[in-house]
Structure 1
Amino acid sequence: MDSLKQDGAVVALAVRRGVRALTPFVVAWNDAVKISSQSQLKGVQPANVLAVNAVEMLVSLDDFLGEKVLASLPMEVTSAKGPDLSTLAPGGIDDLVTSFRSMVAEASVKRVGRRNSPLRAVP
């Protein structure tokens, strides 16, 4: 039984890290949906309406993993660090979205600068 819990801890940590790796994409998707017009959203299939609240769903899934799954497993046998075990959005969803937007923008400016520095210059 202990071996099963230890294996479960490793798998649960991998799932949580995977969920968190999706965060920038989910934030970008959420932003794209928010700027869509009502007529553009009218054509969205009912199953895809859930994507409108994608960030909230991701945070809820992450909270579930932390509170219900990871808390009941022996995480000390994994490579989990403090951030792996802490809440994804301690300051709320708005703070999470803002921080990911700034990280993505900063990374994009750096990447453009490496490829073509004149494009990075702001008049």
Structure 2
Amino acid sequence: MATTEAALKEAMTTIEGAVGVALVDYTSGMALGTAGGTKDLDLTVAAAGNTDVVRAKVRTMELLGLNDEIEDILITLGTQYHLIRLMRGRGANGLFLYLALDKGRANLAMARHQLRKIETELEV
């Protein structure tokens, strides 16, 4: 099992095109840990903003009566992918991993696969 710091570092070093990554508590909107980022990508601001995205999707699913779980949410920008992966398992309720990728360097399918692997190894 990996600590938050180790898991986020692994994401930055093993996921091709990773720009920044954060572990976020979507009940509070706070980033519990971050790695990477740029002057244009403040991971603390992104954590809070993406909390609103997760909450809106959860609320919409409830209104629709969908009896299912969100695996991940993909936001595609002109130059970046933003991937939000809701965590499952013991102690992980209310948490998500947020990953920003450089669209020109990233392999989205591999990034999703690697982020899922990191999630399973993360001990919160």
TM-score, structure 2 normalization: 0.29
Q: More helix per residue: 1 or 2?
A: 1
TM-score, structure 1 normalization: 0.29
Larger Rg: 1
